[in-house]
Structure 1
Amino acid sequence: MSIIEIKTYQSEIKTAADLCYHCGDSCSNSDIHISNKVFCCSGCKTVYEILEANDLCNYYNLDENPGIALKDTPIKNKFAYLDDQEIKKKIIDFHDNGISRVNFFIPSMHCSSCVWLLENLYRLNKGVIESRVDFLKKELALKFDESQTSLRTLVELLTSIGYEPQINMQSIDARGKKQSNKDLYLKIGVAGFCFANIMLFSFPEYLSLGKGIGKEFEKFFGYLNIIVALPVLLYSSADYFRSALQGWKQKMVNMDVPISIGIITLFLRSLYDILAGAGPGFMDSFTGLVFLLLVGKIFEKKTYDSLSFERDYKSYFPISVTRKEKNSEQVISIEKLKVGDRIIIRNGELIPADAIMINGEAYIDYSFVTGESAPVKKESGEMIYAGGKQIGGLIELDVIKDVSQSYLTRLWNDDAFSKEHQGKITTLANTISRYFTIVVISIALISAIYWFCIEPSLALNALTAVLIIACPCALALSTPFTLGNTMRIFGKNQFYLKNTAVIESLAKVNVVVFDKTGTITRGGKSEVTFESLDVNQNELSQDEISYVLSLSRQSMHPISR
């Protein structure tokens, strides 16, 4: 073996020995090991011991260093709030006869080993009946027996092996949002079902090629079409009618007004034709129109949800905080936090409400609120605003404002961050529809009056034709499809926008200024180069590199991570 080969072999051995067996992080200075396996921290060692004790070490054979580093992962009492029955009810999806189902979002899921381990949770906890993983969505569906385990125990288990679920105020509130999406899906389902069946009932009319199918059959299928179309009018179209009515009450004509007029006119004209025996009506067109309008709406919703970058303070805050009682500490949900409560904030925890510093030494990281990453020192008696993160030891604070009244909440509720902010395209569409509606109704009335004077039998046709054909469906469909597709293209290229109003603003942008050096870079692909003032030194020594690594481990800067 040559000298070069020996050195290469020794280098490979050293490199392998310097890497954590669980997560692959560097651990050249670590003395934590089991047999010939080295670990960067006690957390990784604990996970290995858990897997080994349960005969799950095949986890390491599926991928190279599949684990997640667990340095400084606090577990004790962190999830005590999950014992609160009110919070449990909000998190658990289904409960019956002691069996519960829950879905968790697992951000750290990244490879086939993760999937394998999470689907074998029943071997780590006998209370787990079933666990299923949706890798693309990074979701874990658990079915467990509450007589053998608890929600808190499962979350602590997941956290202990490196798969902490994302549980915050927004994830709990999202349960209500799912219900609203279900309602929209149901409306689409009803409209689609009715549309398909009305087309089926209209086949005799389609195939007769205008020759007629007999009065009895025509009436029979016409009445069937009316019955089937009623759910579309009364249920699937209800949101458009409600929006138009609200706009009308506020003396504002939005885009839903002409759409509602078109929908009602189309239905009433079809109803008249069928009942009067004047024709087969247009119930297929009516149900198809509502179905396509709702499809456009769900496309818009799905696009925004999938690229969901519109976060508020709820996505940043945890759902619990430690409140100090007379002789004890109690973990409560943030919703129960009141003015005057004394709370305990530990290292790395967030301050949920504006408060006064009482005890301890505070170094507050306000990067989420102000963008400045340098910690701010605070002393007893000083004001500390919500959204700051404590960097250091334990501190005690007295709450002086409710969570909903804190500075951070008011900042997010500012017009610049408002979720209800409408883009210029949407506003333009509503502005156009205001005049559009007036013009359309005027043309319809003029046409009806004109034909009533010349040929009365055509007056109704003229009135309804204008109102139906002029329905701004193209405008209603084009806005969500255009903005939604633009958001999708941006998202595919990892360019995320807060809302669609930004898309419209981009058309006028000709200068882009980037602030905060380094924060727009990707931590995983960042390269740090060394330039020395000493012309004789081209690179750092091993000791100097270890000093830099030691410092960077204590930094929260994206490049350091």
Structure 2
Amino acid sequence: MSNSCFHCGLDCEQDSLFFDDKIFCCNGCKTVYQIFSDNNLTSYYDLDKNPGITPKEIRGKYDILENQKIVESLLEFNDDNLQIVNLYIPTIHCSSCIWVLENLHKINSNVKDAQVNFPKKTIRVTYKTESYNLKSLVLLLATIGYEPKINLENKNTENTSINRSLIYKLGIAGFAFGNIMFLSFPEYFEVNEYWLDHYKPFFRWIMFAFSLPVVFYASSDYFISAYKGIKSKILNIDIPIALGIAVLFIRSTYEIISGTGQGFFDSLSGLVFFLLIGKFFQQKTYNFLSFERSYKSYFPIGVTVIKNNNQEENIQVQDVKKGNRILIRSEEIIPVDCILIKGEAKIDYSFVTGESDIVTKTSGDKIFAGGKQTRNSIEVEALKTVSQSYLTQLWSNDAFKKENTTHFKSITDQISKYFTIAILIIAFSSLFYWLWKDASQAMYVFTAILIIACPCALALSAPFTLGNLLRIFGKKGFYLKDGYVIEKLAKIDTIIFDKTGTITASNKNTITYEGEVLNADEEILLKNTLRGSNHPLSRQLYQLLKANNIISLDEFKETTGKGLEARVNNQNIKVGSASFVNKNTAKEVLKTSVHISTNNKYKGRYVFYNQYRKGISKLFNKLNKKYELVILSGDNASEKENLCKLLPINTKLLFNQQPYDKLIYIKHHQEEGAKIVMIGDGLNDAGALKQSDVGIAISENVNIFSPACDAILDARNITELNKYLNTCKKGINIIKASFILSFIYNIIGLLFAVTGHLSPVIAAILMPLSSISIVVFTTLCTNFVSRKLI
């Protein structure tokens, strides 16, 4: 009978525990097993043998989490019913860890959701607060063997430094490689006489001893990865490497035991050393790209800050400071944790929690970043600066990921799969050939083929190309959610534009008023009603009207695609389309207008004479050569004649399109096979942006941020859209070219290896060099093709 703990695998002493015909080293492991057994989670033990971590003594350790101020400093989100916390758990180490942590809701029904970030070893947990708290959650995690590391000074920040275990393995492999090479010199130079008789066997066994930590520790990741790949019936790129290391070690061990030779321990240790150098380089480069993405790809959304003299100023979101007083309009995302100062907040936290219930906040209440104000405008005071990483996380929320998307990564994985099969066939065929022709060369040839043909360079092509383009686009005012958007942009054949605020210049339109003059009270009510809206026409009209006293509205409602209505005391107002304010315009000349009625009496309208963005006609003429162009506008057809003069003759023009109409139009054409990019304002067009293959939200100087979009484009750069699309296509061509380059490298390398002219050590040196060459190639090419961007 085994004396190892069923849960954690540690050796059990005499005071071990027995439960359910199983042995446990301590009560903690037994408790974990009982929890899993009671909740039908024992399949946890099917994923790995002895996957558990021995729980440590935690009694009283987390009493500090009864202090509400400490809890508040750790929470990411908090309201009356839900809390969200992001915890760093250093003991996350395998697939079983991910499985059990993401099934916390089966252990405790108060846990609503848990998402593990395996590379960063963090877990983001959403839990109910009625009968549960952070301390209970932390104790639960610690009890099942995943104790969080909580640092109150630095809050919950995961360890983003380079993997230390990789450094240790690299050091051991390098130390062993140097010593084995030194011990091999006498046989290299064929030294005979006294050394041959007395020291040669001793030196060989020392080399064997040095190789043990190299094989069983330094190269362990390759064996583990290969084993998991085979277990999952996946041929990953580590299988040929693990096979080559194993063959070298077994053959070398046989030679020194039988006394037939010194083996290949020098080649073996050198192989692992250079493989780890390549891995270290790859990890450092990925960390660099991750840094670029997290801290430099700021969203070009703006925030309206209220100064001490009640003047409003639009600033970029990253410039918000603690203590700033911020105006949040209807449908705006709250970009920072804050305190409600003025107005009644009706917050939709579905972007953060997945719950669609509206949360009401009153003056003095704390509001967390990520919520969306759904009613009147409010004023808040910032409690901290904006967390760009949090906005990125919100943008990448699973709730806004589109279905049935084909990732470029799958193409790489598929090529690597068949590549591995081909290499194994070539390697074994060459092995049998050389065993027949010259057995002494067989192991060299076999191992060199497995190493030189490793598809690492192939696997690096796509992520480094797309990652560098993301960085470049971000600097040029075009912010993409992830690298897959680049691939989808390269495949589109139809571009759909909204009109108002997208191809029209919001700050350059001419506005005239027609109708009964508004009295002072009506002007104040109109000004404050427009103040709460982010619609492009509302923003233009708000800027036009003279300054009035800021008042709090008793009621405010914005009907998407129709208009606004508000009430103060006994006075009400409607602002929007003619039908919305009950005005019959059947006999009137159609113009882009905002109609106004007060107390159910029609007063007049503001007429907008659109001015289109400079260069928009030239942009459409360029796009017309490659794409089908469509204008879907919610406005009437008053601008049809002007648009026909401005745009190519075959551009489709559809007016009076409600948000739902736009969505249905896109869905219908997608069913016919069209690949569509939708460009809109991110507010009225949220549904269409999400339905399209790629949704691009145009950003001016207001905080209109739609997590449903795939990209955010600075409005000043819309006329450069053709250049962005061309660069995306060139980026995909770069990936294909790097594939070809990698194949050429492998073919040449295989020719030398198969013919016996390439040793395993040289192959191991060339492999990381090939990876470096691919990174350099993709970086230089992406920088070159993007040089024409503004």
Same fold per superposition (TM over 0.5): no
Q: Which has the higher strand share?
A: 2
Query: Which fold has the larger relative contact order, with Cα–Cα distance below 8 Å and residues 6 or more apart in sequence?
Result: 2
Tell me the TM-score normalized by structure 2. 0.32
Indicate the structure with greater helix content.
1
